[in-house]
Structure 1
Amino acid sequence: MSDNCPNCSIIYKIYDVGYVFIATETEAIQQKLLSMPTLKESQLINYENEQIITISYESKKMLKSLLEPLQDLENSDKDNIAIAVNNVSNASYLHFIGYPYFHNHIHYEKVLEYIYHGELKVALQPIIDLETNKLLGYENLLRTTMPSEIGPKELFETASITGTHSYLDKRAREEAIKARSNLIPPGVKSFINFLPSTIYNPDFCLQHTFSIVRKYNVSPEDLIFEVVETEKVEDVKHLKRILNTYKASGMKVALDDVGSGYATLEMLRELQPDYVKIDRKYISHCEADITKQQFLKKVVEIAEQLNIFVLAEGIERAEELQYCKNIGMHYAQGYYIGRPTTQKKLISHP
């Protein structure tokens, strides 16, 4: 009966006024629930040959109060509880989801509503060719229309907690491709972030992205899909399969934050990305740090052997830019070059 809904593609409807239904297959847990003060007026009804608890509520605030005591249950008990809501007491069909997910859905309802229906924007940060100083492309960064209330960091944190990161990641990719069709001319590259964990089957999950590329008539050669810096890869073979699926469709791939976390030099040999982006901590004041210089030279050396382009992230000073250029890095981005902007009038295109 319970659906933990790890990657729901539709928002779970919570009515302002209605009935909450609580199901468990364990009689002992049911008795615990019936003994709770907030549920003392509840009733047992028959649903699909099972006895489930139901009680009415007159506001979402009241619904939260009714279910508040469930937080004190043991985690093992919580895992055996499923919740559904409806606006009628005798619904012929109820969509039950696991209690932990339901609790998070109520707690983060405002942000979840924005994830599913809020207006998303894309900020573009320029990336330049260090040899010619000309524009290579832009990294696409997700933004909201109400950053003081709900920012992109809160969106992704909430999506991770509530299991909706797959849907948000898909929306972010679509917004990036749509923004490109409106703002960026052919030949200028777009670096678009993605979360590997949201793509459980690349042959299936990426079809939506590929259809959006076709819909907006974007050349696959202008797209570089980039593993985001916050993602910790546990299954390297799965990530490699995702990258190869992008490549097979004519797109390029990038490994972000090399030197930080999972993105080690060994991963370059294993994954063979088209681009690698060096973590900011190795770029900051690199012209005066021998340890950083040794690491950066090693990356450039390996990348040259593997025909991988190297991009320095977080350039904030002229000295950093010059050093990266001197040791043979190909591209760079950072505040010294240009801050992310949502303005339609961007810096001059080559």
Structure 2
Amino acid sequence: MTCSSCSIILPIKDQGLLKIRNSKVTLDSVIVRLGMPSGQWREDAIVFRYNSRSELEQLVHGLARLPQEWLDHMEAAVIGLNHTEGEDWLQFGQLQARLQNPDLMTIIKDESFTSHMQPIVDHQLNIIGFEFLLRPSHPGRPFHPFRLFEAAREAGLHAHLDRLARISAIEKSARCLPAGMKRFINFLPSTIYNSAYCINHTFETISRLSMHTEDFVFEVVETEEIDDLNVLHHIFEQYREQGISMALDDVGAGYSTTELMNCLQPDYVKIDRSLIDGCHCNSDQQRQITGIVESASHFGGQVLAEGVEQLEDFEFCREAGVSLAQGYLFGKPEPVPPPNFILSRVV
């Protein structure tokens, strides 16, 4: 069983064929509209040969002049001249994104990333776990994690990247942390197209490394509004049945609302840094934090303060009932955990 959205990225050859098809517009209309050299008809597609990367980019640029309502229904595939590989049909906009971001596509294809680890502490400053955050693995291939995921989303590769990043974090945790230490790992619920494959693949990785599912906390990180909460509930149930805990990230900001929190009832509630920063002297932030703590107590969720940089903010959160904290006050994301997991910045 596989998931096409998580499959390997076929490289774009320097010489090859560009195939296009459109479910709404006749393809001869496309040729006439553009005044382009005629392509060859092959079944339900028109095929253009290109002899260089720049020639392919020119072809795609020419097609991009079509009316947007045409492009919305256009698919494209780029294949080598020998036809040994399969056809990777993409939305036209996804092909554009892959051509416009070659460096980021190479980073994803070559898996040129790793995970850094940021400590999570309890109210007594004991490190109970680490969040795993995507970072470049090679100095010569830098990237901003948010931009990498955005480029992957535009290119139709965010499910592929999310799966690779999740596996990378699991493998890194196996090398760096002892059993019993919590591992907070992000996942994008919108990338779970085939739950039987995407989720089981995660369990297979944990099993292969002889790890305990109870040590894992999967964080829902979503930059888009979640349309179908039933799907997300189903994902939560599948993970929890295997012993994995669930967390809702960035509560109090964006789409991670308190209503969503109460609906999903996660095991961990992570309060967004925008509510934490300066909370010791802001009564409005204090009311919101107290409200989140009270709501989470109704379903037994542990509350975690994100982005803690001031001791005064940590002290307020601790007094308000926030049981866990994370931020530069306790440690930045690093390639390896601190020696013996001892905090040196907080006294």
TM-score (norm. length: structure 1): 0.88
Q: In the alignment, is residue 178 of structure 1 matched against residue 171 of structure 2?
A: yes
**Aligned partner of 1:12 among 4, 10, 27:** 10
- Match of residue 283 from structure 1: 276
Larger radius of gyration: 1
| Matched pairs, number | 340
Structure 1 residues 135-146: aligned runs within 5 Å: 135-146=127-138
Q: In the alignment, is residue 106 of structure 1 matched against residue 99 of structure 2?
A: yes
Q: In the alignment, is residue 241 of structure 1 matched against residue 234 of structure 2?
A: yes
CA gap 1:153/1:266 in 2 versus in 1, 3 angstroms: closer
Partner AA of 1:136 in structure 2:
I
Partner deviation per Cα, 1:118-172 (whole Å, 9 max, x = no partner): 3221100000011x22111001001112466433222201111111111111011
Answer whether contact 2:248 2:266 (CA < 8 A) is retained: yes
Partner AA of 2:202 in structure 1:
T
Q: In the alignment, is residue 260 of structure 1 matched against residue 256 of structure 2?
A: no
Answer whether contact 2:119 2:127 (CA < 8 A) is retained: yes
Equivalent-residue separation in structure 2 for 1:264 and 1:222 (angstroms)? 26
CA gap 1:332/1:57 in 2 versus in 1, 3 angstroms: same
Helix, strand or coil: the match of 1:7?
helix
Q: Which runs of 5+ in 1 are unaligned?
A: none
Partner AA of 1:12 in structure 2:
L
Structure 1 residues 1-350: aligned runs within 5 Å: 7=5, 9-24=7-22, 29-34=27-32, 36=34, 39-40=36-37, 42-45=38-41, 47-48=42-43, 50=44, 52-88=45-81, 96-130=89-123, 132-146=124-138, 149-228=142-221, 230-343=223-336, 345-346=338-339, 348=341
Partner AA of 2:163 in structure 1:
K
Partner deviation per Cα, 1:72-108 (whole Å, 9 max, x = no partner): 1112222444433344389997554443332223223
Answer whether contact 1:196 1:231 (CA < 8 A) is retained: no
Equivalent-residue separation in structure 2 for 1:296 and 1:27 (angstroms)? 54
Aligned residues with identical type, % of pairs: 35
RMSD in angstroms over aligned alpha carbons? 2.6
Partner deviation per Cα, 1:34-64 (whole Å, 9 max, x = no partner): 5645x32x4434x23x5x5434322111111
Partner deviation per Cα, 1:160-214 (whole Å, 9 max, x = no partner): 1111111111011101110000001111111000001011343442000000010
Equivalent-residue separation in structure 1 for 2:246 and 2:6 (angstroms)? 27
Q: Which runs of 5+ in 2 are unaligned?
A: none
Partner AA of 2:40 in structure 1:
L
Partner AA of 1:340 in structure 2:
P
Partner deviation per Cα, 1:251-279 (whole Å, 9 max, x = no partner): 11111111113322233332121110111
Answer whether contact 2:119 2:326 (CA < 8 A) is retained: yes
Answer whether contact 1:8 1:167 (CA < 8 A) is retained: yes
Answer whether contact 1:11 1:113 (CA < 8 A) is retained: no
Equivalent-residue separation in structure 2 for 1:175 and 1:116 (angstroms)? 14
